[in-house]
């Protein structure tokens, strides 16, 4: 589905990503691991259109998407989780979900005047969808809570929920489990597995928690010093000498 070919991203003379080549198969939950500073987040940012690569290509279903801006990738169904921005913290959980879809009729003044009925229908549909998402993620009891009052883990679930408001195909998650307690981490893991199995989402996730990676991801890709060091099943990766060395070396 996503193919990364010989991608470099240099910052001045520093090679954060130094010739990375990898594939994310349709329908997979692919894990991306590696020591701090390996270039994982930089590579995500290149794939998601946040950074332009110094060289190399990214394709999605054979189409060259290298350097496309995030909103164009969004329309193709390629999403990085939306951080809950500062200005959204004062909105409720449900309102945060309803904000996501673009191209709503109510956005222009002309439409506001002439299509009131359609706007009302769209809002009802959005509300219904938001409530379905909240139920799916088992956070319906939080729907009227201000997003700013959620715990770190609950915010991560809301971020995942925002990807469900549009027709996502492939979702990139950067350290979704960081600082999240075990119970919520399991809830997040379950949601990822269900989205994968029931809705056909493809995932690529960066994570440090190896238990989490081993439970969810196949294959696992290991990066070190801007390059892909190894890939395979979690078990296979954890026995790889080069991988062990890369981790011990930092
Ligand atoms: P990881 O996510 O694997 O921990 P990153 O992709 O965040 O690694 O960073 C890889 C390397 O690139 C790090 O050494 C980091 O300091 C450097 N780096 C990341 N972003 C920038 C930037 N905007 N300018 C300069 N150096 C950067
Ligand atoms: Mg990172």
pLDDT per residue as tens digits for the range 48-71: 999 999 999 999 999 999 999 988
What's the predicted TM-score (pTM) here? 0.89
Q: Does 106 score more than 60 pLDDT?
A: no
Helix (H, G, I), strand (E, B) or coil at 172: strand
Dump pLDDT digits (tens) for 21-47.
999 999 999 999 999 999 999 999 999
Average pLDDT over residues 80-102: 80
pLDDT score of 107 more than 60: no
The pLDDT value recorded for residue 42 is 96
- pLDDT by residue (tens digit) across 155-185? 989 989 988 988 899 999 998 888 888 888 9
Instruction: Report how far ligand 1's centroid is from the alpha carbon of 131 (Å).
Output: 38
CA of 122 to the centre of ligand 1 (A): 42
- Quote the ligand 2 centre to 120 CA distance (angstroms): 42
Q: Go through the domains of the chain in sequence order and give each one's CATH number.
A: 1-77+167-250 (3.40.50.300), 86-166 (no CATH)
Instruction: Judge whether 9 and 51 are in contact, CB under 8 Å.
Output: yes
- pLDDT reading at 246 higher than 90: no
Closest atom of ligand 1 relative to the 16 alpha carbon: 12
Atom of ligand 1 nearest to the CA of 40: 3
Whether 80 has a pLDDT exceeding 80, the answer reads yes
């Amino acid at each position: 589905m996503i193919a990364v070919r010989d991608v470099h991203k240099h910052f001045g003379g520093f090679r954060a990503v130094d010739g990375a080549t990898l594939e994310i198969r349709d329908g997979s939950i692919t894990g991306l691991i590696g020591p701090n500073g390996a270039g994982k987040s930089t590579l995500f940012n290149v794939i998601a259109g946040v950074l332009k690569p110094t060289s190399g290509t990214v394709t999605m279903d054979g189409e060259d998407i290298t350097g496309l801006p995030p909103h164009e990738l969004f329309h193709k169904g390629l999403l990085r989780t939306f951080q809950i921005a500062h200005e959204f913290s004062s909105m409720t959980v449900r309102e945060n979900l309803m904000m996501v879809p673009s191209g709503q009729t109510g956005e222009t003044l002309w439409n506001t005047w002439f299509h009131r009925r359609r706007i009302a229908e769209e809002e009802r549909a959005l509300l219904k969808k938001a409530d379905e998402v909240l139920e799916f993620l088992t956070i319906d009891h939080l729907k009227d809570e201000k997003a700013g009052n959620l715990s770190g883990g609950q915010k991560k679930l809301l971020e995942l929920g925002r990807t469900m408001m549009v027709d996502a195909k492939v979702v990139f998650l950067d350290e979704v489990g960081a600082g999240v307690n075990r119970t919520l981490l399991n809830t997040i893991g379950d949601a990822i597995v269900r989205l994968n199995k029931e809705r056909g989402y493809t995932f690529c996730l960066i994570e440090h928690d190896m238990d989490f990676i081993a439970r969810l991801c196949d294959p696992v890709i290991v990066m070190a010093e801007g390059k892909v060091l190894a890939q395979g099943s979690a078990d296979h990766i954890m026995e790889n000498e080069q991988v062990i060395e890369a981790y011990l070396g930092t």
